[in-house]
């Protein structure tokens, strides 16, 4: 198992999500569904270390990361609307994680080129991020999260603000990212069609608990 | 017919625009009239005369240097205070928020008097024994800083309020600690806000008079800044020099204001 959640409970204010049990193999693509405000985003934020767990454990590659700091987890995060760094070019958004890790210039350059090819944003590298379209922003946000080769990727409604054609293109991009990187993904969405296209596993959050859709066991 | 009557009962928009426009124009005209009065009262020769006085040249120098130091210090303090107040909730935050606004609402003379008394206490006297403050140049900077910093704090807080905090949380997931996320992501985004807080503090410091008069005095060639010059020249009846120096301050303030506006416009992408 790449990632395993054992008895995870989250309590933030009046919000509560209890006894989350879940395990994903390498390369699995888990789609999390549920109504607005049910805690999908909060669960992703807890996985990334941005919100604390009330109890339970998160194991990543056998390592207990339940209380590790976000930057030490090795989990990539694509928030809603991408949230690119507005003062940086596309290139610097993509190289951010590697710059922080003080990787060598040549390694950074190669990785940025590789990501730009994978996500078809090579022609945008020197541009600022302000003028990018919704689809371009999401591609760059995806590349930024993938740069340091995380073993798990958390995507928060990455396709929600896109028109139909761009959404189709992004689904194809996500499929090729999964094939080529073998990353394990959590993808939050409201859209059932999107879930059917991408998911190898589907989970639903309802009434403060997480259940596997279609009667399968969450483990 | 009833429907037609109802439409007719909406009434004209003219009184609304007439009232709002009249009040707006009246205030704008008052400001323009103030400046026009200054300009009409003085001449270029008066300005040159004023600039020839060594005392006034000293006061210009001290004003510009002290305001610049005050602006830099204010920004230095305002960035962390504005950031913490914008990003974090903590016990007593409302109280801290209220305290930070005190210099804005307190009468200027009271600030000067409070500074004077502060430096008569044991810790104040200990500082004075190392660096003379009261009635010396450091007191000018401290008096300006006490007020100007509060404006810079307010400005920086608004700046950070307008920056999406999610950028920093993304940076955390990409390997940053809080300090790195602030330095690499939040601070560059706040760049123009920093400049505008700095210019605001500078302009505020330039006009500071009450606290300086009480805490620093208005000793020529020592603690005299431009507002003190206006006061001193007026008190000896040299109105031409007072107006000339006032115009100098108006010009400096307008330049600073224009810079801030231009920066603000570019920030909003105009």
Q: What ipTM did this prediction achieve?
A: 0.93
Written as six digits, the tokens of B125 are: 């006297």
Written as six digits, the tokens of B162 are: 């307008």
| pLDDT above 90: residue A14 | no
Q: How far is A216 from chain B (nearest CA, A)?
A: 31
B189-226 as b/e, with b when 16 or more CB fall inside 10 Å? bbebbbbbbbbbbbbbbbbbbbbbbbbbbbeeeebbbb
Q: Is residue B109 part of a domain?
A: yes
Q: Is residue B121 part of a domain?
A: yes
Q: Do A85 and B191 touch (CB under 8 A)?
A: no
Q: Which residue has the tokens 């309020």?
A: B161
Q: What percent of chain A has pLDDT over 70?
A: 97
Number of domains in chain B: 2
Q: What percent of chain B has pLDDT over 90?
A: 81
Q: Do B177 and A101 touch (CB under 8 A)?
A: no
The domain of B104 spans 45-267
B149 & B69 share domain:
yes
Q: How far is B88 from chain A (nearest CA, A)?
A: 14
Contact yes or no for A175/A198 (Cβ under 8 A)? yes
User: Rounded to the nearest 10 degrees, how much is the dihedral formed by the CA atoms of B172, B178, B181, B184?
Assistant: -150
Q: Is residue B63 part of a domain?
A: yes
Residue of chain B nearest A131, judged by CA positions: B269
| pLDDT above 50: residue A217 | no
B90 & B197 share domain:
yes
Q: How far is B165 from chain A (nearest CA, A)?
A: 10
The domain spans of chain A are 3-84+150-215
B101 & B21 share domain:
no
Residue of chain B nearest A147, judged by CA positions: B174
Q: Is residue B6 part of a domain?
A: no
pLDDT of residue A37: 82
Q: Do B191 and A69 touch (CB under 8 A)?
A: no
Q: Which fold has domain A3-84+150-215?
A: Rossmann fold (3.40.50)
Q: Which residue from A151, A170, A172, A154 is spatially nearest to A162, judged by alpha carbons?
A: A170
Q: Do B173 and A70 touch (CB under 8 A)?
A: yes
B18 & B129 share domain:
no
Q: Which of chain A's residues have a Cβ under 8 Å away from the Cβ of B184?
A: 96, 100
Q: Do A96 and B177 touch (CB under 8 A)?
A: no
Q: Is residue B54 part of a domain?
A: yes
Q: What is the CATH classification number for the domain harbouring B202? A: 1.10.3720.10
B31 & B136 share domain:
no
| pLDDT above 70: residue B142 | yes
DSSP B234-250: HHTT-HHHHHHHHHHHH
Q: Do B172 and A69 touch (CB under 8 A)?
A: yes
| pLDDT tens readout for residues A187-212 | 999 888 888 889 999 999 988 889 88
Q: Which residue from A79, A108, A82 is spatially nearest to A96, judged by alpha carbons?
A: A108
| pLDDT tens readout for residues A84-118 | 999 999 999 999 999 999 999 999 999 999 999 99
Q: Do A79 and B166 touch (CB under 8 A)?
A: yes
Residues 91-120 of A with CB under 8 A from B: 96-97, 100-101
Q: Do A77 and B173 touch (CB under 8 A)?
A: yes
| pLDDT above 90: residue B212 | yes
Secondary structure of residue B223 in the 3-state scheme: coil
Q: How far is B199 from chain A (nearest CA, A)?
A: 22
Q: Give B46's pLDDT tier (boundaries 50, 70, 90).
A: confident
| pLDDT above 90: residue B6 | no
Q: Give A215's pLDDT tier (boundaries 50, 70, 90).
A: very low
Q: Which of chain A's residues have a Cβ under 8 Å away from the Cβ of B191?
A: 87
| pLDDT tens readout for residues B55-100 | 999 999 999 999 999 999 999 999 999 999 999 999 999 999 999 9
Q: Do A71 and B166 touch (CB under 8 A)?
A: no
Compute the mean pLDDT over every residue in chain B, rounded to the nearest whole number: 92
Q: How far is B193 from chain A (nearest CA, A)?
A: 13
Q: Is residue B7 part of a domain?
A: no
């Amino acid at each position: 198992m790449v990632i395993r959640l054992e008895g995870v409970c989250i309590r933030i204010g009046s919000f509560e999500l209890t006894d989350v049990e879940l395990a994903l193999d390498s390369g699995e693509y888990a789609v999390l569904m549920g109504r607005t405000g049910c805690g999908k985003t909060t669960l992703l934020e807890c996985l990334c270390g941005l919100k604390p767990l009330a109890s339970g454990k998160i194991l990543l590659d056998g390592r207990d990361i339940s209380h590790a700091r976000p930057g030490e987890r090795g989990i990539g995060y694509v928030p809603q609307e991408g949230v690119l760094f507005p003062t940086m070019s596309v290139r610097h958004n993509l190289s951010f994680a590697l710059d922080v890790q003080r990787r060598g210039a040549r390694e950074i350059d190669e990785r940025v080129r590789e990501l730009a090819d994978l996500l078809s944003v090579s022609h945008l590298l020197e541009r600022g991020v302000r003028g990018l379209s919704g689809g371009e922003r999401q591609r760059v946000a995806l590349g930024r999260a993938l740069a340091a080769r995380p073993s798990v990727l958390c995507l928060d409604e990455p396709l929600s603000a896109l028109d139909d054609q761009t959404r189709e293109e992004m689904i194809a991009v996500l499929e090729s990212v999964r094939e080529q990187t073998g990353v394990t993904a959590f993808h939050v969405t409201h859209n059932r069609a999107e879930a059917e296209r991408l998911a190898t596993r589907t989970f639903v959050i309802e009434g403060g608990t997480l259940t596997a859709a279609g009667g399968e066991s969450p483990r | 017919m009833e429907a037609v009557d109802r439409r007719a009962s909406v009434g004209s928009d003219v009184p609304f625009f007439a009232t709002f426009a009249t009040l707006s124009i009246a205030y704008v005209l008052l400001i323009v009239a103030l400046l026009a009065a200054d300009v009409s009262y003085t001449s270029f020769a008066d300005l040159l005369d004023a600039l020839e006085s060594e005392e006034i040249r000293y006061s210009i120098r001290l004003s510009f240097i002290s305001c610049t130091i005050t602006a830099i210090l204010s920004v230095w303090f305002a960035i962390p205070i504005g950031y913490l107040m914008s990003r974090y909730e903590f016990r007593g935050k409302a109280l801290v928020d209220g305290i930070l606004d005190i210099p804005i609402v307190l009468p200027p003379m009271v600030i000067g008097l409070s500074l004077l008394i502060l430096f008569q206490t044991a810790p104040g006297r200990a500082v004075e024994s190392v660096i003379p403050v009261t009635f010396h140049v450091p007191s000018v900077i401290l008096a300006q800083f006490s007020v100007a910093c509060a404006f810079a704090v307010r400005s920086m807080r608004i700046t950070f309020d307008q920056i999406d905090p999610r950028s920093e949380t993304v940076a955390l997931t990409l390997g940053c600690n809080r300090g790195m996320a602030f330095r690499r992501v939040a601070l560059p985004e706040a760049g123009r806000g920093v400049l505008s807080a700095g210019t605001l503090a500078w302009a505020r410091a330039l006009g500071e008079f009450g606290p300086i008069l009480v805490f620093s005095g208005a000793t020529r060639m020592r603690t005299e800044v431009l507002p003190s010059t206006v006061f001193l020249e007026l008190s000896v009846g040299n109105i031409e020099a007072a107006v000339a120096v006032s115009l100098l301050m108006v010009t400096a303030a307008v330049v600073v204001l224009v810079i801030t506006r231009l920066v603000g416009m570019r920030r909003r992408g105009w």
